Structure 1
Amino acid sequence: MADTLDLSHLTEEQQLALQQFTSVTDQDLSTAVPLLQKCQWNAQIAITRFFDGDAETIDPVAEAAAAPPPPAHSRRSETLMHSLSSPRHSTSSSRSRNGLEEAPRVVATPEGQLTQPLPFPLSILLLPFNLTYAIFQRVFGAVGYLFPVLPRLLARIWSGRASRPSRDTGRKQLNPRDTAARFMREFEEEYGVTHATLPFHEEGYAQVFDIAKRDLKYFLVVLLSPEHDDTAPFVRETLLSPEFVHFVQQPENNILLWAGTVQDAEAYQVATALNATKFPFATLICHTPSVSASAMSKIATSAGPVAAGDLIAKLQGAMQTHNAELERVKRQREEQQASRNIRQEQESAYERSLAQDREKARKKKEEAAAKEKAEREEREREERAAEQARKLYQWRRWRAQSLPSEPGEAVKDAVRMSIRMPDGERVVRKFRADADLEELYAFVECYDLLSNGEAEVSEKQALEPEGYEHDFKFQLVSPMPREAYGLEKGGSIRDRIGRSGNLIVEKIVEEDDDEEADDQ
Structure 2
Amino acid sequence: MAASGFDLTSLTEDQQLALQQYTSVTDQELDAALPLLQTCQWNAQIAITRFFDGDADTVDPAAEAARVAPPPPPPPAQAGRRAETLMDTIAPRSSRDRSRRGNGLEEAPRIVPTPESQMTQPMPFPFSLILLPFNLTYVVFQRILGTAGYLFPFLPRLLSRFWSGSGARPTRDTGRRPLSPNDTAARFMREFEEEYGVTHGTVPFHEGGYASAFDIAKRDLKYLLVLLLSPEHDDNASFVRETLLAPELLAFLKDPKNNILLWSGTVQDAEAFQVSTALSANKFPYACLIAHTPSVSSTAMSKIVTSAGPIAAQDLIQKLQAGIQSQSAELDRIRRQRQEQQASRSLRQEQESAYERSLAADREKARRRKEEEAEKEKVEREERQREESKAQRVRTLAQWRRWRAASIHPEPGTDVKDAVRISLRLPNGERAVRKFRPDAELEELYAFVECYDIMNDVNEGNDMTEKAPQEPEGYEHDYGFRLVSPMPREVYEVNSKGGTIRERVGKSGNLIVEMVGGEEEDEEEEDEV
TM-score range, shorter chain: 0.7 to 0.9
Q: Tell me the matched-pair count.
A: 490
Which of residues 11, 20, 23 is equivalent to 1:21? 23
Deviation at 1:502?
2.3
C-alpha distance 349-275 of structure 1, shift in aligned 2 (>3 A): same
1:28 corresponds to:
none
Selected match of 1:502 from 491, 503, 510: 510
Asked if the contact 2:411/2:434 (under 8 Å) is kept, the reply is yes
Corresponding position of 1:404: 409
Structure 2 residue identity aligned to 1:502: N
What does residue 114 of structure 2 align with?
109
Provide the C-alpha distance between the structure 1 equivalents of 2:188 and 2:399, rounded to a whole number of angstroms.
Answer: 107
1:15 Cα deviation from its structure 2 partner: 3.8
Paired with 1:323 and 1:23, the residues of 2 have a C-alpha distance of 25
1:210 correspondence with 2:210: no
The DSSP-based 3-state class of the residue aligned with 1:197 is coil
* Structure 1 segment 41-52 matched on structure 2, within 5 A: 42=44
The separation in 1 between residues aligned to 2:455 and 2:57, in whole angstroms, is 98
CA contact (8 A) 1:159 1:228 kept: no
In the alignment, which of 418, 424, 433 is matched to residue 429 of structure 2?
Answer: 424
Residues 480 and 519, structure 2, Cα contact 8 Å, conserved in 1: no
1:460, distance to aligned residue in structure 2 (A): 2.3
CA deviation after TM superposition for structure 1 residue 193, in Å: 1.6
- What residue identity is the alignment partner of 1:404? H
For structure 2, the 5+ residue unaligned runs are: 3-7, 65-76, 525-529
Give the C-alpha shift of residue 504 in structure 1: 2.8
Output the CA distance in 1 between the equivalents of 2:150 and 2:493: 130
Compute the RMSD of aligned alpha carbons.
4.4
Amino acid at match of 1:95: R
Which residue among 473, 477, 488 is the counterpart of 1:470? Answer: 477
Say if 1:71 and 1:219 are closer, same or farther in 2 by CA, change over 3 A: farther
- How much has 1:144 moved relative to structure 2? 7.5
Equivalent residue letter for 1:213: K
What is the distance in 2 between the residues matched to 1:110 and 1:283?
25
What are the equivalent positions in structure 2 for 1:260-271 lying under 5 Å apart?
260-271=265-276
Q: Give matches, 1:127-138, under 5 Å.
A: none
Q: Does 1:357 align with 2:365?
A: no
Report if aligned partners of 2:108, 2:279 keep a CA contact under 8 Å in 1: yes
- 1:285–1:297 CA contact under 8 A, matched in 2: yes
Change (3 A) 1:71 1:90: farther
> 1:18·1:43 contact (CA, 8 Å) conserved in 2?
no
Between the aligned partners of 1:428 and 1:18, the Cα distance in structure 2 is 101
What does residue 468 of structure 2 align with? 461
TM-score (norm 1): 0.81
Quickly say closer, same or farther: Cα 1:449–1:147, change in 2 above 3 A.
closer
In structure 2, relative to structure 1, the CA distance for the partners of 1:389 and 1:71 (3 Å cut) is: farther
Equivalent in 480, 485, 495 of residue 492 of structure 2: 485
Q: Which residue of 2 aligns with 1:440?
A: 445
The share of aligned pairs that are identical, in percent, is: 63
1:381 matched residue in structure 2: 386
2:167/2:284 contact within 8 Å kept: no
Q: Determine the C-alpha separation between the residues in 1 that align with 2:468 and 2:58.
A: 94
Give, in angstroms, the shift of residue 286 of structure 1. Answer: 1.2
How far did 1:443 drift?
1.0
- Equivalent position to 2:259, from 254, 262, 268: 254
**Matched residues in 2 for 1:70 and 1:284: separation?**
39
Q: Which runs of structure 2 are paired with 1:84-123 in the superposition (5 Å)?
A: 95-119=100-124
3-state SS of paired residue (1:472): coil
Distance in 2 separating the partners of 1:320 and 1:70: 48
Distance apart, 1:241 and its partner CA: 1.4
Point out where structure 1 has 5 or more consecutive residues left out of the alignment.
26-30, 53-57
Alpha-carbon distance between aligned partners in 1 of 2:245 and 2:425, rounded to the nearest angstrom: 122
- Aligned match of 2:13: 10
Deviates most, 431-440 or 450-459: 450-459
Q: Distance in 2 between matches of 1:403 and 1:204?
A: 110
Q: TM-score, normalised by structure 2?
A: 0.80
Could you report, residue by residue, the CA deviation over 1:469-513 in whole angstroms, capped at 9, with x for unpaired residues?
011122223344444322133222222222222223333324996
Question: Which deviates further from its counterpart, 382-391 or 319-328?
Answer: 382-391
User: 2:25·2:48 contact (CA, 8 Å) conserved in 1?
Assistant: no
Aligned residue in 2 for 1:55? none
The aligned counterpart of 2:296 is: 291
Whole-Å Cα distance in 2 between the matches of residues 369 and 49 of structure 1?
Answer: 59
1-structure distance, mates of 2:434, 2:131: 140
Deviation at 1:351, TM superposition (A): 0.6
- Which one is further off, 329-338 or 484-493? 484-493
1:202 and 1:102, CA in 2 relative to 1: closer, same or farther beyond 3 A? same
